[in-house]
Amino acid sequence: MTELNILKEREKQVHRNDLTTFQMDCETKSAAGSVSQRACVFCGSRVVLYPVADALHLVHGPIGCAAYTWDIRGALSSGPQLHRLSFSTDLREEQVVFGGEKKLRQCLTDLIDRHAPAAAFVYATCIVGIIGDDVDAVCKAVAKEKGIPVIPVHSEGFKGTKKDGYRAACKALFQLVGTGDISGIPPVSINILGEFNIGGEAWMIEEYYRKMGVEVVSVLTGDSRVEKIKRSHGATLNVVQCSGAMLQLAEMMEEAYGIPYIRVSYFGLEDTAQALYDVAAHFSDHPDVMEATRALVKTEIEAVHPDLLEFKKVLHGKKAAIYVGGAFKAFSLIKALRYLGMTTVLVGSQTGNTQDYDLLKKMCDTDTIIVDDSNPLELATYITEKEADIFIGGVKERPIAYKMGIGFCDHNHERKTPLAGFKGMHNFAKEVYTTVRSPVWQFAPAQNRVY
């Protein structure tokens, strides 16, 4: 294998785990020439807001930006499908020169009249930030005229990274929070933040809480509705799953409405059970909640445990490479793979912070490669060096795995199978099991891998 020459600008973003102290250089803009897997601000905002199913999502920019709208995430809805339609102001040269505010207002007016949304989100893209359209003023005028919230999302791509898009989305959502009626919300109630219902996970998690005796006021933003978001300030606890995307909203709600939050993960048996127990513990003055939670966890684990033991017999000793968006997801993946007897030899994220990487260092074995904002060449090289049996990532990582001749497990936004909760752990383990043992890999021996 040819030795990899890492770009000088990226030397502090790649670490071979050992006992020495290291400080990962993270939360920085991607290095020019790196062709990293990290997306832009607009992408981050769309990831968070897109699943609001009864809202209009209008991209103010050239038509090419709308490529990141059409069904870019699974984001299943139990009702409205408006979020799955792709709308753009389709800015051309004339608007770039003379301004696009007039076209934006006309598009908003026409779309609201046609689709009658509960609210509208308007995404400002790079070109809008350059030409200086007053998106806020247009949104305010249309909101007054049409009588619905019309919310600007300042997501100009050049402003930063995908993580900055998360912040822009949280600010947009916060404009809805606190504007609805909270009568009838019981004291044992929560909001679920950071669950996007890609494969129906939100429905599974809501069912867990229903059996526990906990009411879910709003899921932000999987299968979400504008009215539920408006009254989310009536819940007594925020449960934050995807901390990178939604932690800021939880902090804003705590400051404004005094709602505490906890961080959880619903991936893997251990983390799912702990998440449910943590919520039950918060409502300690309702002991029946904890009692119902124990019964639920016992029943769910007993249903999947026998199959997991069978999968483990085959997967024991296999090696996995992980590259995902948020580091919090990587934590759960490492634990779930360890439960299956597998070793993580490469792990990285697009949006991890210093504390995340410190924890990854403690969780990973010696000589595990830890990367931040990686690129295909780095990922391919380390996968080859470590002789990984499977690569777990998202849509951008899939071609890397197949070119390398190893199995791939989609743990991001294109999948259709739920991977959260107890049943989700069974689905994940079964996919890894069937992928790793597939006979197709005998036709792609390691020496023929492309990198």
Sequential DSSP letters for 95-126: HHHH-SHHHHHHHHHHHHHHH--SEEEEEE-H
Q: Are 42 and 121 in contact (CB under 8 A)?
A: no
Give the global pTM: 0.90
pLDDT digits (tens, 9 = 90+) for 279-302: 999 999 999 999 999 999 999 999
pLDDT digits (tens, 9 = 90+) for 205-246: 999 999 999 999 999 989 999 999 999 999 999 999 876 789
**Would you state the structure tokens that stand for residue 255, as one six-digit string?**
């400051």
Cβ-Cβ contacts under 8 Å for 377 (sequence gap 6 or more): 4, 35, 451
The radius of gyration of the chain from alpha carbons, rounded to an integer in Å, stands at 23
Question: What pLDDT was estimated at residue 447?
Answer: 44
Which of 1.10.10.10, 3.90.1150.10, 3.40.50.2300, 3.40.50.1980 would CATH assign to domain 189-299?
A: 3.40.50.1980
Report d(CA 392, CA 401) in Å as an integer.
9
Report d(CA 408, CA 397) in Å as an integer.
9
At 448, is the pLDDT very low, low, confident or very high (cuts 50, 70, 90)? very low
Q: Are 40 and 162 in contact (CB under 8 A)?
A: yes
* CATH code of the domain occupying 41-171: 3.40.50.1980
Task: Answer whether CATH 3.40.50.1980 is correct for domain 14-25+316-415.
Answer: yes
- Checking if the pLDDT of 117 tops 90, the result is yes
Q: Which segments of the chain belong to CATH 3.40.50.1980?
A: 14-25+316-415, 41-171, 189-299
